[in-house]
């Protein structure tokens, strides 16, 4: 578990893979709505589920937020969370993983940035993760999630999303994670069925954005 009360000197830190991969800007209507909902909140507590971002941390902390970060996709690659079954196959020990990586209090967060990690997570993890997020999010709290459309394809590159403005993201290509599935709107609605509302924003780059409110 990690949290940051970022400072101004981190704002100019280099982005991950900045030398290896080009970066592009992307307009995000979902992010604009997310930022509008959390604007003016005092002692705001935000959870970012992507790779640690030297851009997102100061962007949010300069607005008075305390930012926690959990790089879930990288954590799932750690061998100590894999257990052998009777047939010799390895599977993820979901219970141990969440106990060691996601031990947060109920109603701790005002907002959560999920980005598109659900599309890259192992199948047994997705539903338990959403259940954990529901408990960790305050009533009326907001989640921003991205989901690939059917046209994305299994080789769709994984990007880290850096917030540069309230409605603008910079995309930096990240590790070589493989797309595991594509959720349609009905799947997303079922995934967040215990939340009070969902709002969809369809982008032009094979990504749909979803704003979820508990």
Task: Read off the pLDDT of residues 90-117 as tens digits, 9 standing for 90 and up.
Answer: 788 888 888 887 889 999 999 999 999 9
Note the pLDDT of residue 205: 83
Note the pLDDT of residue 214: 97
Q: Which region, left, alpha or beta, applies to residue 40 given φ > 0 means left and ψ of -120 to 50 means alpha? A: left
Mean pLDDT of the chain: 85
User: What tens digit of pLDDT does each residue of 6-42 get?
Assistant: 333 333 333 344 445 567 999 999 999 999 999 988 8
Per-domain residue ranges of the chain = 15-213
Note the pLDDT of residue 33: 97
| Range scoring the smallest mean pLDDT among 67-76, 86-95, 171-180 | 86-95
Note the pLDDT of residue 69: 94
pLDDT higher than 60, residue 43: yes
Burial 146-176 (b: 16+ CB within 10 A, else e): bbbbeebeeebebbbbbbeeebebbbbbbee
- Right CATH for 15-213 from 3.40.50.150, 2.60.120.650, 3.50.50.60, 3.40.190.10: 3.40.50.150
Q: Are 53 and 68 in contact (CB under 8 A)?
A: no
* pTM recorded for the entire structure: 0.85
Give dist(CA 156, CA 153) in Å, integer: 6
Note the pLDDT of residue 14: 38
Q: Are 152 and 120 in contact (CB under 8 A)?
A: no
> Which single residue is written with the structure tokens 């069925």?
193
């Amino acid at each position: 578990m990690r949290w940051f009360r970022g400072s101004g000197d981190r704002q100019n830190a280099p982005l991950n893979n900045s030398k290896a991969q080009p970066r592009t800007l992307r307009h995000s209507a979902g992010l604009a709505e997310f930022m509008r909902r959390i604007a003016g909140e005092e002692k705001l507590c935000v959870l970012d589920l992507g790779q640690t971002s030297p851009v997102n941390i100061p962007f949010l902390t300069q607005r008075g937020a305390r930012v926690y970060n959990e790089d879930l996709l990288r954590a799932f690659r750690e061998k100590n969370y894999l257990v052998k079954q009777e047939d010799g196959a390895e599977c993820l020990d979901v219970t141990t993983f969440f106990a060691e990586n996601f031990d947060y209090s109920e109603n701790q967060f005002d907002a959560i940035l999920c980005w598109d990690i659900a599309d890259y997570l192992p199948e047994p993890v997705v539903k338990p993760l959403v259940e954990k997020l529901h408990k960790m999010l305050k009533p009326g709290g907001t989640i921003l999630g991205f989901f690939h459309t059917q046209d994305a394809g299994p080789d769709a590159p994984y990007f880290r999303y850096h917030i540069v403005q309230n409605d603008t993201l910079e995309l930096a290509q990240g590790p070589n994670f493989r797309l595991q599935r594509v959720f349609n709107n009905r799947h997303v609605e079922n995934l967040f069925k215990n939340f009070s509302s969902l709002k969809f924003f369809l982008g032009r780059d094979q990504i749909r954005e979803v704003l979820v409110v508990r």
